[in-house]
Amino acid sequence: MQSIMLKAKLHQARVTHAVLEYEGSCAIDGNLLDMAGIREYEQIQIYNIENGQRFTTYAIRGEEGSGIISVNGAAAHLASVGDRVIICAYAQYSEEELVKFKPRLIYMMEGNDVSHTSNAIPVQVA
């Protein structure tokens, strides 16, 4: 059996560009891609905290160290510069792979600097 699991997450990244006339995709600072283990052209989900929009696109490499998060093409209608977004990548894992499975969770601050990383989300309490 295969399970689809959260592979990586950039939590509360800030949109730095929204470019309607670009080919499409989401440009992400190459350092952040590498840290999260997200590959160029990999499918990603973007969840806009500001307006509730959720959409699918793919990642492209942005300039390393730039902090760029550019939502491009038609998706530029769904996010504005300054919006906080959660960017997630998912992957299929076998039961054997799940024994050692841990997602890469990258938590962002203003300016798209990394505040900390983790591989587990704390238990939500009532």
How far is the C-alpha of 6 from the C-alpha of 21, rounded, in Å?
30
Helix (H) or strand (E) holding 72: strand 69-72
Helix (H) or strand (E) holding 55: strand 54-62
Residues tagged active-site: 25, 58
List CB contacts of 62: < 8 A, sequence separation 6 or more: 27, 28, 29, 30, 33, 68, 69, 70
How far is the C-alpha of 35 from the C-alpha of 126, rounded, in Å?
32
